[in-house]
Structure 1
Amino acid sequence: MAFRFFMLLICISFFSCKKEKNLVSTNIDKLVLIPIPDQIVEEDYGFLFDQETRVMSDTLPEVQAIATQFKSLLKQTPFPLILDNEVDENVVSFNIVSSDSIPSPEGYVLAINNKRLSLAGSTPTGVFRGMQTLLQVLPDALIAGKQIDSLVIPGLKIIDEPQYEYRGMMLDVARHFFTVDEVKRLIDQMALYKLNKLHLHLTDDQGWRIEIKSWPKLTEIGGSSSVRGERPGFYTQEDYKSIVAYAQSKFITVIPEIDMPGHTNAALASYPELNCNGKATKLYRGMRVGFSTLCVDKDITYAFVEDVIKEIAAMTPGTYIHLGGDESHVTSKKDYNIFLNKVFSIVKKYKKQVIGWEEIESAGVDSTYIVQHWQRTTTASRGLAQGAKVILSPAKRMYLDMKYTKKSPVGLTWAGTVEVDSAYIWKPSQIFKDVPPSQVLGIESPLWSETIKSSDDIEYLAFPRLIGHAELGWSKRKNYNWDSYKLRLNKHYNRMNILGINYYKSPVLKTKIKP
């Protein structure tokens, strides 16, 4: 009796309950949804959990895993949530539906009313993306693992799909090395905001971070250095496969980058035969760029590249291999183009698609290539004119290694400072106005690691700017709104506190929020 009276008081004071179970009035005003969904409709009544609430799941293992995750979130509640595919009401369901009803493979429909909580997608990916929205609908206390005795989910219907196919983040593990667990922690955080690509910058002048069995000195020697010698290391092939598999479990694709022909000092120090003079370079622990190049005239260079691409491709189920191609200042343009054309053929031989920084356009690209814009729109535009697609990573908006202000404890300033508002208040569609939208594949937030050496550093520079970029990548252009986003992000701080994210507390968000 006491418990029933307590529940009644809750319904009256907060949800204006008309019936104990089926008529709990809804209230979505307190919801904090980032990225903002395409369509949100408020339902008259929300969903009240009780001892009879059941869970229903599609038979696909990936969807069952999502249902199991949801059940585990409620372990500190009195609701048993037994799996039962025979009930029609008082059920939480995770469903696969036809692509006719949800055309986008990442789209989903989340429908919550007094009878059921339903999450549907036409693929497991769509259901997983919808689960991230459902997590934001759930109360903070549940996410924090606190004991709760009652649970009401606001009634709503969300119909949602992404604006861009490609929504990513790049982590530079070459300047400073980050462990498998640190990368997996970042993958967990990326998944929360519906990002779907993790670009790993695996090699550079300061370090070679991926084991190549046919060229073992790459990690034996090249993996022993880093910026200032602070965090050397490398991934074994089993380590890399573990990262790839973990990302796949979060519906994130890993894109490996093997930078060439420049940014290659770690390789040149490991194998002297890759140098034109046949002499090994010294390991490099500084931050300068543009001084190294593979020897374009030697056959062994292409044997080396093929071995590397072959082993990387075999471990990478995703479509893409990133070839870098930027800042190769000591390679003549003629040699640069000769080299890349040979390497392009090698990548295609192993059934992968080339991504490169915008400079690769000079070697000749077509609709099967992707150029990544980071600095000069004129350079990327030449690639687009040849038919290539583009990933947007303009440094002045999207480089996470740029300081927020000149007083930021870590980061660089060569592209300026990027406060939280500057990271959000721009329109990706306006950078290349005259190209068809189909050529803009999406956006990516690069984090170069010259100044960072811990997960705390990663999180400080990435959050909350990465969250704003995630909204620009996922949400429709009509829903971009700084005033709305600022309020939602301010409220979202509490969720980041619960998750233990070491985010930057921006003064531009110090807006008084009504309780």
Structure 2
Amino acid sequence: MRLFALGTLLLAFAVVAPPPAIVAHGRTAMHDLVPAPVSVRPARGAFTLRPGTAIASDDAGVAAYLAGVLRPATGYALPIRPKGAISLRLEGAPASVGPEGYQLDVTPRGVTIRARTPAGLFNGVQTLRQLLPASVESPSVRPGPWQVPAGRIVDHPRFAYRGAMLDVARHFHPVETVKRYLDRIALYKINHLHLHLSDDQGWRIAIDSWPRLATHGGSTQVGGGPGGYYTKADYREIVAHAARRHITIVPEIDVPGHTNAALASYAELNCDGVAPPLYTGVKVGFSSLCTSKEITYTFVRDVLRELAELTPGPYVHLGGDEADATSDADFATFVNRVHPMAVSLGKKVVGWHQIAAPDVRHSPGRVLQYWGLTSDDATVTRAVAGGAKVIMSPANKTYLDMKYDATTKLGTTWAALIEVRDAYDWDPGTHLAGVPESAVLGVEAPLWTETLATEKDLEHMAFPRLPAVAELAWSPRSTHDWASFRERLAAQAPRWQTLGIGFHRSPQVPWRA
């Protein structure tokens, strides 16, 4: 967490070699995809999107999403009909693509995406977006032409969990900012957004049974300022927006430490019965719920119940890191009482890897999020042997709030300086000794916001490193190749510019105009 508080390349994507007649066609958009697909086979020609093009689909939601992406820039009506030149089908995909993969076929006559689930169709649509000119992302009509290079792509993810995390506790970020972040991570096939909803500096979700958590605990942020919180309607709006992008929201209530905002809101949660003042600093490790008081467990039970009612996804994140103000015995007592509460509500518990501390019992489906700086952690290894799964978020590789280099104005440096290559050049399946790839549920890129107060701040730190982590989570290990990736990443720049994303122009990447 934080101490202060693709053979080679794309045409080794398992890329099936094209017939000799098309080798000379040169680089096309099929060579510039991020994340790298499992298999790419270019062919002659291209499909051209025209004013009369229609979309046919077995899933109305994905069809509406695709039409919504394409209509503003093209100016075309793109009606959704039983038959169309763009066809999205929940049949005919090979079994190898699994629940989230797809097969995309492009000929001069049309585009067909086949998948076994709507999520697979949606992932295929993200690839189709990247095959179109970057100007297709424009919010206003552009001249085109709108061509998709011909060929076949067969693709599926390496890991089931592909995550991004947004800290809205240190600095509050409004609903529209979160929704735009969802839109942007969806492009790179991220399927989970972990929202860090509570910390010392702010409580960001309304809880009816404990209303001062939001109204008082949510009234400030790092450095002062108004803070803010999500009403239940706000949170449902975020969840629904995510669901339309086949992204699962994972809410985090960090306990028993990182709880000053809650302690300041309700005096009875403190062992001495005295509420501390609200906190706007960045130091961590000083706060703790009173683990010996029964009211603490009533509080946690109420919060989890209301949060579970709002959250359709399978996970709830219960933090558990940097509980320096809680003794080891009290920490174990607290976790052993609280985690079963989440399980009883039908949720699987995710927590920072400290929840695997000695004397903490394993709960069914428990997931540890590893944020350490080393490649060996005996506590995590022991938990994995007991059945736990791991989300890989090593802070010196995936923490998007770390500075790129010493000249970066935003961010911090406690874990590392992380340039794009540092974020890309590691393997989640082998990173941690004693944790086999079969125990790795996935990969997540956290974005902590101690220094990030605006949406532009978020963009600058997430891009281009978030797509690098997304490729590690999606693409086969055999496609991992920095020389290939930097070229493909460079091709994303015009798309980001059209989308208005203020990204960091890393000197490691030969950015395209």
The TM-score, its normalising length taken from structure 2, stands at: 0.90
Matches within 5 A, 1:175-254: 175-254=170-249
Quote the offset at 1:490 in angstroms: 1.6
- The yes-or-no answer on 1:157 pairing with 2:152 is yes
Query: Is the contact made by 1:253 and 1:318 (CA closer than 8 Å) also made in structure 2?
Result: yes
Q: Which amino acid aligns with 1:351?
A: G
Q: Report deviation, 1:53.
A: 4.2
Q: For residues 74 and 463 of structure 1, do their structure 2 counterparts lie closer, same or farther at Cα, with a shift above 3 Å needed?
A: closer
Could you tell me how far apart the structure 2 residues matched to 1:225 and 1:458 are?
Answer: 19
- Residues 83-128 of structure 1, C-alpha deviations (whole Å, 9 max, x = no match): 44357xxx22111116764541110111001232111111111111
Residues 1:51 and 1:61: Cα distance change in structure 2 (over 3 Å): closer
TM-score, length of structure 1 as denominator length: 0.90
* 2:86–2:110 Cα contact (<8 Å) kept: yes
Q: How does 1:224-303 map to 2 (within 5 A)?
A: 224-303=219-298
Matched-pair contact (CA < 8 Å) for 1:26–1:155: no
Hey, what does 2:400 align to over in structure 1? Answer: 400
State how far apart, in whole Å, the 2-side matches of 1:321 and 1:260 are.
12
Distance in 2 (CA, whole Å) between partners of 1:51 and 1:410 is: 45
Aligned to 1:441: 441
Whether the 8 Å CA contact 1:57–1:67 is kept in 2: the answer is: no
2:117 maps to 123
Partner residue in 2 for 1:341: 336
Deviation at 1:44, TM superposition (A): 2.4
Task: Report how far residue 380 of structure 1 moved.
Answer: 2.1
1:354 aligns with 2:354: no
Maintained 8 Å contact 1:175/1:227:
yes
Distance 1:385 1:82 in 2: 53
CA distance in 1, matches of 2:171, 2:52: 52
2:362 corresponds in structure 1 to: 365
Distance in structure 1 (CA, Å) of the matches to 2:412 and 2:306: 34
* CA spacing shift, 1:27–1:129, aligned 2, 3 Å: farther
Verify the 8 A CA contact 2:179 2:242 in the aligned structure 1: yes
RMSD of the TM alignment (CA)?
Answer: 2.1
**Unaligned regions of 5+ residues in structure 1, if any?**
1-23
SS in 2 for 1:444: strand
Higher relative contact order (CA 8 A, sep 6+): 2
Q: Percent identity?
A: 43
Q: Which residue of 1 aligns with 2:409?
A: 409
Q: Deviations over 1:192-246 (max 9, x none)?
A: 1100110000001111111100001111211112111135111111111111111
- Alpha-carbon distance in structure 2 between the residues aligned to 1:368 and 1:86: 43
Match of 1:14 in 2: none
Secondary structure, aligned partner of 1:224: coil
Aligned partner of 1:11 in structure 2 is: none
Determine whether 1:143 maps to 2:124: no
Contact 2:424/2:482 (CA < 8 Å) preserved in 1?
Answer: yes
**Deviation per residue, 1:376-396 (Å, 9 max, x gap):** 541322321222000000000
> 1-side partners of 2:341 and 2:137: how far apart?
47
Q: For the residues of structure 2 that align with 1:175 and 1:52, how far apart are their CA atoms? A: 49
Rg larger in structure:
1
Is residue 2:90 matched to residue 1:96?
yes
Report if the CA contact (8 A) 1:28-1:42 is conserved: no
Give yes or no for the alignment of 1:468 onto 2:465. Answer: no
Match of 1:29 in 2: 27
Supply the distance in 1 between the matched residues of 2:262 and 2:181 (Cα, whole angstroms).
27
Counterpart position of 1:507: 507
2:17 corresponds in structure 1 to: none
Q: Give the Å deviation of 1:510.
A: 4.1
Give the alignment of 1:309-348 within 5 angstroms: 309-348=304-343
Q: Per the alignment, in what secondary structure is the counterpart of residue 355 of structure 1?
A: strand
Going from structure 1 to structure 2, the CA distance change for 1:509 and 1:302 (only over 3 Å counts) comes to same
**Aligned pair count?**
484
Structure 1 contact 26–46 (Cα < 8 Å) conserved: no
Structure 2: 5+ residue runs without aligned partners? 1-21
Aligned AA (1:475): S
Indicate the SS of the match to 2:202: coil
Q: Are the counterparts in 2 of residues 177 and 226 from structure 1 also a CA contact under 8 Å?
A: yes
